[in-house]
């Protein structure tokens, strides 16, 4: 079992899960109940996480997610930095981590 994606957006994670399931990739969401009740935890510690059950599916799952995140249909979803793979909120056009710009 491997963590495939994490984002500060349960709707996006839920959407990715449904896309993966439509590709017959078994997956589940962790931390979906911790949102908003994080208290002292660092914010990223309680972001919802998408996990894939079978290691064999991981590579396929990654390419599916990459395709979804690059799709112009998902205008309100975070985009994935092409250089460092950081998840960037849609209102930003440059990566806060490495400065790479959205394409
Ligand atoms: Zn970056």
Q: Are strands 79-80 and 87-88 parallel, antiparallel or unpaired?
A: antiparallel
Task: Spell out the domain ranges in the chain.
Answer: 2-76
Å from CA of 2 to ligand 1 middle: 22
| Farthest CA pair distance, the chain | 37
Å from CA of 82 to ligand 1 middle: 7
pLDDT band at 22; cut points 50, 70, 90? very high
Looking at domain 2-76, its CATH class is alpha beta
Å from CA of 103 to ligand 1 middle: 12
Each residue of 32-61: pLDDT tens digit? Answer: 875 555 556 666 667 899 999 999 999 999
- Predicted pLDDT of residue 26: 96
What separation in angstroms does the CA of 102 have from each of 36, 72, 89, 95, 99?
A: 29, 12, 11, 8, 10
Å from CA of 24 to ligand 1 middle: 30
Å from CA of 87 to ligand 1 middle: 8
The whole-model pTM stands at 0.60
Å from CA of 39 to ligand 1 middle: 28
Average pLDDT over residues 78-87: 87
């Amino acid at each position: 079992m491997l963590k495939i994606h994490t984002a500060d957006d349960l709707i996006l994670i839920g959407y990715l899960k449904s896309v993966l399931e439509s590709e017959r990739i078994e997956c589940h969401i962790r931390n979906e109940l911790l949102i908003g009740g994080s208290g002292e935890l660092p914010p990223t510690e309680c972001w919802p996480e998408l996990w894939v059950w079978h290691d064999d599916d991981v590579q396929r799952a990654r390419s599916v997610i990459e395709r979804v995140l690059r799709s112009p249909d998902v205008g309100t979803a975070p985009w994935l930095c092409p250089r460092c793979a950081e998840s960037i909120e849609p209102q930003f056009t440059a990566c806060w981590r490495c400065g790479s710009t959205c394409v």
